[in-house]
Amino acid sequence: MPDRTCHCYGCGRNQGVDPSELPCFALKGWYILSHLEGPEDIKRYGFCSITCLQRWVNEHAPSVPEIFLSIDEF
């Protein structure tokens, strides 16, 4: 049974991470966003796809110029 989970803030999906598995392998393809809210106050958000990440950015940062919100997959 997974010991930890990562929650997608875009669609609500939960991805379990087995204790014997490195999170970087269990969450391959996920996007992690770090948001600095103050000195030593960092919030981290997980997204299972670029679509979920883009949707969250559009909903939470509509005042940021689009040039700074360009998200492309390579």
pLDDT at 48 over 90: yes
In one-letter notation, the amino acid at residue 53 is L
pLDDT of residue 23: 78
- Residue in 9, 14, 11, 10 with CA at minimum distance from that of residue 27: 14
Whether the pTM exceeds 0.85: the reply is no
Structure token digits, residue 13: 């999906």
- The sign of the torsion formed by the CA atoms of 37, 43, 47, 52 equals negative
**Can you tell me whether residue 55 is helix, strand or coil?**
helix
The mean pLDDT value for 42-65 works out to 84
